Amino acid sequence: MALMTGEQYVESIRKLNLNIYMFGEKVENPVDNPILRPSLNSVKMTYDLAQMPEYEDLMTAKSNINGEKINRFAHIHQSTEDLMKKVKMQRLCGQKTAACFQRCVGMDAFNAVYSTTFEIDKAHGTHYHENFLKFLDYAQKNDLTVDGAMTDPKGDRGLSPSKQVDPDLYLHVVERRPDGIVVKGAKAHQTGIVNSHEVLVMPTIAMGPDDKDYAVSFVVPTDAEGILMIIGRQSCDTRKLEGCPLDCGNTEFGGVEALVVFDNVFVPNDRIFLNGETEYAGMLVERFAGYHRQSYGGCKVGVGDVLIGAAALIADYNGAAKASHIKDKLIEMTHLNETLYACGIACSAEGVKTESGNYIIDLLLANVCKQNVTRFPYEIARLAEDIAGGLMVTAPSQKDLESPVVGKYVEKYFRGVNAVSTTDRLKALRLIENLTLGTAAVGYRTESMHGAGSPQAQRIMISRQGNINGKKALAKAIAHIED
Amino acid sequence: MALMTGEQYVESIRKLNLNIYMFGEKVENPVDNPILRPSLNSVKMTYDLAQMPEYEDLMTAKSNINGEKINRFAHIHQSTEDLMKKVKMQRLCGQKTAACFQRCVGMDAFNAVYSTTFEIDKAHGTHYHENFLKFLDYAQKNDLTVDGAMTDPKGDRGLSPSKQVDPDLYLHVVERRPDGIVVKGAKAHQTGIVNSHEVLVMPTIAMGPDDKDYAVSFVVPTDAEGILMIIGRQSCDTRKLEGCPLDCGNTEFGGVEALVVFDNVFVPNDRIFLNGETEYAGMLVERFAGYHRQSYGGCKVGVGDVLIGAAALIADYNGAAKASHIKDKLIEMTHLNETLYACGIACSAEGVKTESGNYIIDLLLANVCKQNVTRFPYEIARLAEDIAGGLMVTAPSQKDLESPVVGKYVEKYFRGVNAVSTTDRLKALRLIENLTLGTAAVGYRTESMHGAGSPQAQRIMISRQGNINGKKALAKAIAHIED
Amino acid sequence: MALMTGEQYVESIRKLNLNIYMFGEKVENPVDNPILRPSLNSVKMTYDLAQMPEYEDLMTAKSNINGEKINRFAHIHQSTEDLMKKVKMQRLCGQKTAACFQRCVGMDAFNAVYSTTFEIDKAHGTHYHENFLKFLDYAQKNDLTVDGAMTDPKGDRGLSPSKQVDPDLYLHVVERRPDGIVVKGAKAHQTGIVNSHEVLVMPTIAMGPDDKDYAVSFVVPTDAEGILMIIGRQSCDTRKLEGCPLDCGNTEFGGVEALVVFDNVFVPNDRIFLNGETEYAGMLVERFAGYHRQSYGGCKVGVGDVLIGAAALIADYNGAAKASHIKDKLIEMTHLNETLYACGIACSAEGVKTESGNYIIDLLLANVCKQNVTRFPYEIARLAEDIAGGLMVTAPSQKDLESPVVGKYVEKYFRGVNAVSTTDRLKALRLIENLTLGTAAVGYRTESMHGAGSPQAQRIMISRQGNINGKKALAKAIAHIED
Amino acid sequence: MALMTGEQYVESIRKLNLNIYMFGEKVENPVDNPILRPSLNSVKMTYDLAQMPEYEDLMTAKSNINGEKINRFAHIHQSTEDLMKKVKMQRLCGQKTAACFQRCVGMDAFNAVYSTTFEIDKAHGTHYHENFLKFLDYAQKNDLTVDGAMTDPKGDRGLSPSKQVDPDLYLHVVERRPDGIVVKGAKAHQTGIVNSHEVLVMPTIAMGPDDKDYAVSFVVPTDAEGILMIIGRQSCDTRKLEGCPLDCGNTEFGGVEALVVFDNVFVPNDRIFLNGETEYAGMLVERFAGYHRQSYGGCKVGVGDVLIGAAALIADYNGAAKASHIKDKLIEMTHLNETLYACGIACSAEGVKTESGNYIIDLLLANVCKQNVTRFPYEIARLAEDIAGGLMVTAPSQKDLESPVVGKYVEKYFRGVNAVSTTDRLKALRLIENLTLGTAAVGYRTESMHGAGSPQAQRIMISRQGNINGKKALAKAIAHIED
């Protein structure tokens, strides 16, 4: 089948029998739901761009599994060049959607599971890698979107999985059968789940011997029996229901998050990638997190490009573009955004080959990348709000603009430079609002903070990877301190 | 009449015949409108607190005009102690509402107009100060809330008022009659207008001789003929219509902003405080802005207290309160918040007496105060999002929690430490969302940026007030450089 | 005797029989030593300014002990106004010396010992307060400079005083006699010791019951038997020996630090202020540190004024003063410097009366003040280096400028704007070097970091004083979370 | 001859007849001068490391000119891999010297001149590229160190070269002869000049038609007639003369800067690379600056590694290594340092081929790299000072430590953890002092600021390279704003 078109992808999702709840009600037709559709459109963009010749080199790759031309989101990275192209692809998708396009988690899960299963099999004589290759071949050939599901609800952060009052606060095996396993639990903050064909589950932390049932990784269809999704609320979510595109800022694209409940879901043996080898849970988490921290050096940069562009636009529309402080703020925004990109590129260029043959990013630099992502988008957003002016949060609604009674006042009093229509000025302001306070702020701010692990998780990795003893030795040599 | 109770205040607003539009429709009953009511409640708090003995010293003062006990929001500051109490009163109100309580603009306008009219009269032999004293006596005795209206729409920021294509983009006099003037134009971002009895208009920038008609200040009732208000949209505004208090974070208090249109409004002579004396426009702006920049060192600090408290609460509920990085982040939030407070207190303690006898803050320090307010609340918000965890933007709705089908999953999987109910945990998260991304973020973030003047406005004042030549002289003396 | 003139002060120090070592040699005449003299001159400035009518209000006060007019550095603060004047006096002295003028530690020690001894006596029936009053009367009447000595060497930071391998790493009582005590140990980083008449010793940390011998406070003359001082090296210290004032940046003023060794020093009973009451060690430390953290909101601001002035000067001399980025950096430097000042003023204005009757600063705000001092001077220095240009670290020596062979090249090629001499340009650059990298950088940077306690010490106090439970209660009230 | 050993290099410099002045005196034997020798040792390290098999891949390359194995510092980059290796080589050299090793400027000049001369020749039919290839072959085969000299004294920053009162404030051609040109002027801040065999001169800014005589590039031996060097003073420079290695922090390595005067220096035709083609001055500057801004992503990172190591060491020696805030500060230092490295790597990995065939870095990312270098080393230094404690600026001299009278006190009272000698503790502190306030701070701080162009120069380039119009188009597409 090779590559799907965007439309084919949408129809393939329509065919799924997903069990989705939102605002306490079952969503019967998620594909056409006004709140969910923009999120689907973002994933669709990953299919659309792959069809365009100008993006072919970035958006597609040749599979190392079956030799076919596949979407890069399903690719196992074969070189540092592949790792760099991944980041560029993500920046492109961010620029085209100004939102989270969700398909990265699957790609990052593929590459982490690929190398980790290889090493488990080598150590334990298991067949996880073979299982995974079979699934991957299927996913590549059918151009599937796969949700990589890692984050458990976690309950009391002070307690390990097996010590929680409720044993289900981390997903775990509740039954072992000859033909497979039954799992129970949930995964939180799942960005792409409602737009995915399959969900690939991984553990969320390194584990000790007591956590054996929690060390489990597998893949199942998103409409498997026992799976249920509950959509999370986003800031300004219901604006999409009002029929007022102007007020939305970004009407076409978005992203949503869901809690995915696994209520005694059966997993057949050949779809299991980890099952009780607790000592490998940490490796899988570390590698997935590493890849995903790299990802943020692409996707958030692309979204940042749009926000910088919107800020430059509103400066034009306000008649303020020539003020030196405005120019300086746009430079600072660009500087910060490109610093993130530099980190994404650097951890890729410094990537290394794993035992299994695929390439993994430099873990230290990938964590440095993500750590900066927990800071700079906030400052970029702050500067955008500075440039935009207060109107970005006090502008009236589209309905006011269109009102026969008060529309003329809105039209008259919210005009900036005379050459630009009030409507265009409001569009630019609403886009900035969307990215700094609205639905997209969830992705651009809070998920920049917590996605792929909260800031402290990166600091722990930076501490581990920073070779502080090597640095002490350097200092001793210079200072002539003998051991 | 002296002090009104909160209830009396609400009823007094109900009696007004305000001309308010929202979502393209006229709001027939603003007092009970679910979107507007929380904003009214915030102002109501300024009346409620003034009734409470424990806050009497902060919330009330003895009028220098009529000797009566009045609400401090209507007071003319008689000492640096008064200036400091003002800041403390604002912090208190911020703590009690976690929102903008709006009544400061009137207080700051009172004090700026008080001293400026005194000086205009002295120079020009006009009677503005007398006019103002008469109005103030009325406002104090009736315990009125007065909106101080300064910010014009401004159109093209590169052009002065009289050079705009549309002359109405700055409010101006369109007709001069024997008994008064007729004005036209609008004031944007008016936070308290829908909850005010009167609106006191001031010019928004220093003016040159060409801008004579734009140099105008006056007060009129908010339901005067020709006045019309259009409510601005806030992030998450319509959540208040859903009947789901849990999703709102702060159900009781809020703030809204409006565009106030003056469509040929008549102002009688005895309510005019400036009329064509262009050289005093700058002084009035500078003093109002100075007082209002001081204000932010109180009100935003109070809101910050709530946000810090909410972050500490969710750390407890997550089971993460003992982690050293969490404790350190709470310290940093406190440190930044108290730095803002220190600036508010310092510009008050360093206040000086004006020619008219009231006290004005130290202008340099007040501008320094506000400049910090354009930065630190953003960092405090970022740290709150860090501590909260991603759930603050991915938690399901109240309707999901209450659903007979999926409620049990929400209840089960979003529990943190076992001792705290999921509902309480969600309440804490929604409060943080409200303050960092929701309706209150408009006030805590974007209005911290632009309220009382955008950051660059403060920098210009810091440059002017910083006595750089005096500093050069100090350096020359130390370096033995002779002139 | 009342107030001494600067010259009388210098002669009074000359009469002391101080036991000072520097570069391994005894300093026979410290008063005229080129490295030490600038430090003496800084203290002398506190005497000179007190003689000048224009500074009388700031520099002098009326003693609450004996009713005489005294130098404010010897004053017990009687009001918040006194606390504010203290900060202003320190800013003035910083502006006049661009260095540490050292006399604050004594003043801060006086005020901390004053209130603490009062409370100890009340609890224990001791006579420490009476002892202290007697000494203070003497110090005030003789206009003495007193070194407040707190910081012990501390050895292994992981161990308490009594657990150190060497018991002397914290100063302690080694013998108790009927007429007094004998102490042993040392105090490190003593900035004013070589210019002081007396040294007032305090413990450096809160103590437990095991540390009884370490809980000791007293005052002795700086030339008491058993006292020995070893001068610390400063960056660029020996430039002062070269006879090339141009290269020094600030030839007249400076500050030095010393280790003061107490080698079995006898302290008579009436000069003891604490002796074994371990539970009061913490109070004394906290109060002294609080006053001293306030101090930094004055003195460092004054030095900052000089640095800002020097940066503005070199911008003029470089012909760069009109560049918008230069202007903006000067604004930022001013903003940061005034933020520090605001903190100094605020903790003073919010001061409260102690049981003993003197005034103490608001401890939370004083710690916030110092915490900012550990950050902003570094950024101000960075901006100064930015404005100055690389020449500040690559300019040739005064000897090159004066060389018959190469002087003409220096003169020619290091001229900036034509109207300013190369010598003046170099003077301005050397002053910036002095403050950012040279002798004064020790005071402006590293001692801003560690003086009055390292940053973490303030964070612990901010945590303690920040009333986090009160803030949680505010958040609960808003979120309607019931206990 | 191929690669020289370090010793051979030193002897080759000894043979030069350099005309060096310091402290107003001619330096007769620079090679053995205690102030200059550490700087020579740093360059020597680039020869020593190239002899070591473990560093062969980083330190050497195969010349594209003559096929020989050469030192990478003389290499023309043939690939992005070469660009990345350059950065790694620089980090290594920084780690081994904790100082500026100076040889980068020549390497960066080579690569900029290589591509620019190719393009000039193509446009103008000149022979600059041929001239340069001939020189380069000679430099490679003789393993020469070449100083790249760009920065003119610049006089009044508000005036262009030809508008200065003194025409020599930018280096220029004063005579054109058949066999060559005569130049006059100077280059400031030359870090490697006294340790170089040749000096390659380039213009310092883009030029207009009036500046024809200033658009000149050439290479001459450092001991050519008419060349004279005046050494700049560094903080703590004369400590190296005291014979007290402990007080120096880093006794073996350093860097010095000099003003190089060109007093009517003759340049033969075949050593000229630009002569009046003003429109190429900008390209040459931009490319050299670009390469050199990349360089800082390597060398300063290496120095940063030593400083982080020293901070970790002193934390151990102080007994504070387990404190969570200390660990967190070391993580932050590492994070910032690696962010710089990421930028250095990223601009290399994103390098592109020039028309001449060599590779040039991505200019946007190289400028982003350097912009971060103007910030992060300052913060790393601040954190190092925080961890070190005040003793780093108050410790007595080596002479005190060795004094028969006071040595015992120094030994006793400056011991940290008992297991580490006081001497080792002082060594670690002095190294931190050296890097943050001493001779090495000149390189690590101020030259991080101004080397390869001051911060504003990078901001201008970021503005130019940031494609703000492309970003506006992205925003318009998302917001559905039509042109």
Shortest CA distance from C165: residue in chain D: D418
Q: How many CB atoms lie within 10 A of CB A178?
A: 5
**Side chain identity, residue D452:** A
Residues of chain B neighbouring A156 (CB-CB closer than 8 A): 318-319, 416-418
pTM of the predicted structure, to 2 decimals: 0.98
Q: Which residues contact C370 (CB under 8 A, 6 or more apart)?
A: C292, C293, C296, C297, C452, C453, C458
Distance CA C473, CA D217 (A): 71
Nearest CB to A342: which of D308, D342, D462?
D342
Which of the residues of C are catalytic?
100, 104, 191, 257, 292, 296, 299, 447
pLDDT beneath 70, residues of chain C: 1
State the first-to-last Cα distance of chain B, in angstroms, to the nearest integer. Answer: 64
Q: How far is CA C467 from the centre of its chain?
A: 29
Residues of chain A neighbouring C323 (CB-CB closer than 8 A): none
Residue B93, both tokens:
């109100």
Q: Over the stretch B318-343, which tens digit does the pLDDT of each residue have? A: 999 999 999 999 999 999 999 999 99
Burial C4-25 (b: 16+ CB within 10 A, else e): bebeebbebbeebebbbbbbbe
**How distant, in Å, are the alpha carbons of A247, B280, B483, C80, C435 from that of C90?**
55, 37, 27, 16, 18
Q: What is the ipTM of this complex?
A: 0.97
**Average pLDDT score over residue span A66-85:** 98
Placement of tokens 């001494």 in the chain: C4
pLDDT on residue B483: 82
Contact B359/B80 with Cβ under 8 angstroms? yes
Distance of residue D340 Cα from the nearest chain C Cα, in angstroms: 18
Q: Which chains border C (3 or more CB–CB pairs < 8 Å)? A: A, B, D
Number of residue pairs across B and D with CB atoms under 8 Å? 8
Is A400 an 8 Å CB contact of chain B?
Answer: yes
**How distant, in Å, are the alpha carbons of A30, A224, A352, A439, B391 from that of A187?**
20, 15, 30, 21, 12
pLDDT on residue D336: 98
**Average pLDDT score over residue span A294-307:** 98
pLDDT on residue D1: 54
Distance CA C412, CA D160 (A): 17
Residue B9: φ, ψ to 5°: -60, -50
pLDDT on residue C1: 54
Contact D180/D266 with Cβ under 8 angstroms? yes
Supply the mean pLDDT for chain A: 97
pLDDT on residue B448: 97
Is pLDDT at D321 greater than 90 in this prediction? yes
Residues of chain D neighbouring C21 (CB-CB closer than 8 A): 396, 400, 403, 405-406
Nearest CB to D235: which of C325, C375, C438?
C438
Looking at chain B, the whole-number percentage of residues with pLDDT higher than 90 is: 99
pLDDT on residue A2: 77
Output DSSP code: residue B196: -
Q: Which residues contact B260 (CB under 8 A, 6 or more apart)?
A: B147, B149, B186, B187, B190, B193, B199, B227, B228, B229
Contact B436/B385 with Cβ under 8 angstroms? yes
Q: Do D475 and A310 touch (CB under 8 A)?
A: yes
Looking at chain D, the whole-number percentage of residues with pLDDT higher than 70 is: 100
Contact A329/D467 with Cβ under 8 angstroms? no
Is pLDDT at A1 greater than 70 in this prediction? no
Q: Verify whether residue A347 is a known catalytic residue.
A: no
The strand ranges marked E within B128-194 are 146-149, 172-177, 180-190
Distance of residue A395 Cα from the nearest chain D Cα, in angstroms: 16
Q: Do B342 and C338 touch (CB under 8 A)?
A: no
> Mutation test of the interface with chain C: which of D170, D322, D324, D382, choosing the one with the most C Cβ atoms within 10 A?
D382
pLDDT beneath 50, residues of chain B: none
DSSP reduced 3-state for A272: strand
Contact A299/D426 with Cβ under 8 angstroms? no
Choosing from B55, B214, B291, B296, which is the catalytic residue?
B296
pLDDT on residue C483: 82
pLDDT on residue C434: 98
Residue A350: φ, ψ to 5°: -95, 15
> Mutation test of the interface with chain A: which of B235, B244, B456, choosing the one with the most A Cβ atoms within 10 A?
B235
Residue C54, both tokens:
């224009």
Q: Verify whether residue A191 is a known catalytic residue.
A: yes
pLDDT on residue D483: 82
Q: Over the stretch C218-235, which tens digit does the pLDDT of each residue have? A: 999 999 999 999 999 999
Supply the mean pLDDT for chain C: 97
DSSP reduced 3-state for A193: helix
Distance CA D82, CA D357 (A): 13
pLDDT on residue D188: 98
Burial B91-119 (b: 16+ CB within 10 A, else e): bbbbbbbbbbbbbbbbbbbbbbbbbbbbb
**Side chain identity, residue A453:** G
pLDDT on residue A483: 81
